[in-house]
Amino acid sequence: MAKYFTRLGDGEGVWMSKEEIREDVMAGINDAVTKGKTPNLTDDDIEKLIEILTMPEKNVSVERGNEGIMTFDAGTLKLPVRAGIPMDRMTALMTHERVLCSDTMEMCNVDYSYKALKNIVSEEAMAMELAQKNCILPIFYGAMPNVGQYTKPDGPLDNWTELLPKGKVKEAMAAQEEAVELASKDMIFVGTHLAEAGACGIQFDTCGASGDADILAALIAAKELSSKFPNLSIEMGMANEYHLGMHGKLQFEGQRLAGQFPAAQVKSVEAAGAHIYGCVVNTKSSKSFPWNLARSIAFVKSAVAVADIPVVVNAGMGVGGIPLSNTAPTDATTRASKALIEIGKADGL
Amino acid sequence: MHEMASGMGGIRTAGDLVARMVMKGMKLNVAKKYVADKLGCTVFDLSDSAAMKEIRESLDIGTVLVRNGASMGMDAKVKIADILDIKIPSVEGQKIR
């Protein structure tokens, strides 16, 4: 029986038969359907996915005309910091514009949390002004809500992850409610400065990383900024395919945030006046790439089906079906790229 | 890697222009049609680097290669805002100054 080269969820190469791939694809979809209540993928979707997964080419691409737009989180962290290339952020932005030919780019700081940026917002705004003078491509400014940073010893609040195991539920809930207020204020403050400096957009990245308080803070900030700056684009990237209910009762515009899957997440993002929803489906490293990609597509397609705004998919290391490896294998990355857009019907990545 | 596998091609094509419309909340296919209509080309042309090089040069909205006397950075964006009939925050800021 013919074997096809594919990957495990941690990036390790593995040879599987078409039937084994099909079994994993079906199991991945089933996980999204049963746990996330997504609609099933169609037979055509499944056959197309198996075709992409078993293509003999090392790297693949979308068919002509199916291209989507590319956005970035941690944009200017990738070349100057993670890859260690001695270049400043302006050079990184122009490298993306003129060498990599990215459709958009994100300027950000090494300390990728809005709370930390408050202290250096004037310098960040100046950097944005300079970037806007020199670049043609749209530039976002981005960071994470990171409400966990408002807890002791980094912040003023008691830590709810310490309070909850002690049974101090009310105190944990109150601390998170205070964190929402502090974090949304900081995001509005930083976002306002960057918008006034000419940023094309503000990105709230990894929203919900600290649970439902984290996403609520970002939604409040997005709502304020989108009404204050009508020409400013707001992109909201999630942390997970499922908002953790660290508080459990927090609501935005009448909708409970804990437990939201992508099809509900995108509606909350729309309600905040944001323009782009960034769908995140985390990779399970103990499952295969076919399992993870199939599961991701099911979640993405469920969000696209109900979305009135564009849906872009986070497709880096450990999300969007891509193996959890710092150096994502290009065979997996390009297959995920093609499948998320052509089957998931995403507007971009 | 995604740029090559599924990206529109940035300023090599019309990727930045389509992205500007998507950033306003337009779904991808609507954004492509909008940009193609404004440029007077087909949707297919938008991701063809040869076709878009000619269009971008003729409209002076910036290309990958720098050319003598051609617009770059803010100068190109002033024209992009005009062609797409949109407000670009940094261009609006420039007008106020």
What's A287's domain CATH number? 3.20.20
Inter-chain contact B10–A199, Cβ cutoff 8 Å? no
Residues of B in contact with A97 (CB under 8 A): 10-11, 16
Residues of A in contact with B19 (CB under 8 A): 69-71, 103-104, 137-138, 348
Residues of A in contact with B94 (CB under 8 A): 198
Q: Which of B5, B20, B25 sits opposite A62 (nearest CB)?
A: B5
Helix (H, G, I), strand (E, B) or coil at B94: helix
CA distances from B82 to A139, A140, A340, B63, B86 (A): 18, 21, 33, 17, 7
Q: Say if residue B97's pLDDT is above 70.
A: no
Q: Which of B7, B25, B31 sits opposite A102 (nearest CB)?
A: B7
- Residue pair A213/A139 in contact by the 8 Å Cβ criterion: no
The total number of structural domains that make up chain A: 1
pLDDT value for A41? 95
Which ipTM score applies to this complex?
Answer: 0.96
Q: What angle do CA A336, A83, A59 make, to 5 degrees?
A: 25
How long is chain A?
Answer: 349
Domain-embedded: residue A83 = yes
Q: Count residue pairs from A and B with Cβ separation < 8 A.
A: 172
Which chain A residue has its CA at the smallest distance from B91's CA? Answer: A198
Q: Which tens digit of pLDDT belongs to each residue from B55-67?
A: 999 999 999 998 9
Q: Which tens digit of pLDDT belongs to each residue from A154-170?
A: 999 999 999 999 999 99
Best mutation target, B12, B23, B72, to test chain A (most A CBs within 10 A)? B23
Name the one residue in this structure whose structure tokens are 């942390």: A239
* B55: closest CA of chain A, how far (Å): 16
Domain-embedded: residue A163 = no
pLDDT value for B63? 95
Rounded CA-CA distance A15/A271 in Å is 45
Inter-chain contact A71–B47, Cβ cutoff 8 Å? no
E strands present in chain A: 3-7, 13-17, 105-107, 139-143, 201-207, 233-238, 251-252, 255-256, 276-279, 311-313
Residues of A in contact with B6 (CB under 8 A): 61-62, 66-68, 70, 337-338, 340-341, 349
Q: What average pLDDT is seen over chain B?
A: 94
Q: Which domain holds residue B61?
A: 2-96
Residues of A in contact with B67 (CB under 8 A): none
Residues of B in contact with A199 (CB under 8 A): 89-90
Q: Say if residue B96's pLDDT is above 80.
A: no
Domain-embedded: residue A288 = yes
pLDDT value for B3? 83
- What pLDDT band is residue B1 in, cutting at 50, 70 and 90? confident
* B61: closest CA of chain A, how far (Å): 8
The one-character DSSP state at B91 is H
pLDDT value for A103? 96
Domain-embedded: residue A171 = no
Q: Which domain holds residue A237?
A: 3-154+184-342
pLDDT value for A149? 95
Rounded CA-CA distance A343/A341 in Å is 6
- Residue pair A328/A54 in contact by the 8 Å Cβ criterion: no
Domain-embedded: residue A271 = yes
Rounded CA-CA distance A81/A110 in Å is 8
The total number of structural domains that make up chain B: 1
* Closest alpha carbon to A191 in A135, A236, A254: A236
Write out residues in chain A with pLDDT < 50, as ranges.
none
- Residue pair A201/A230 in contact by the 8 Å Cβ criterion: no
* Closest alpha carbon to A102 in A130, A125, A69: A69
Q: Which of A136, A232, A337 sits opposite B73 (nearest CB)?
A: A136
pLDDT value for A156? 96
Instruction: State the number of CA atoms in the 13 A half-sphere of A141 facing the CB.
Output: 29
Instruction: State the number of CA atoms in the 13 A half-sphere of A73 facing the CB.
Output: 28
Domain-embedded: residue A173 = no
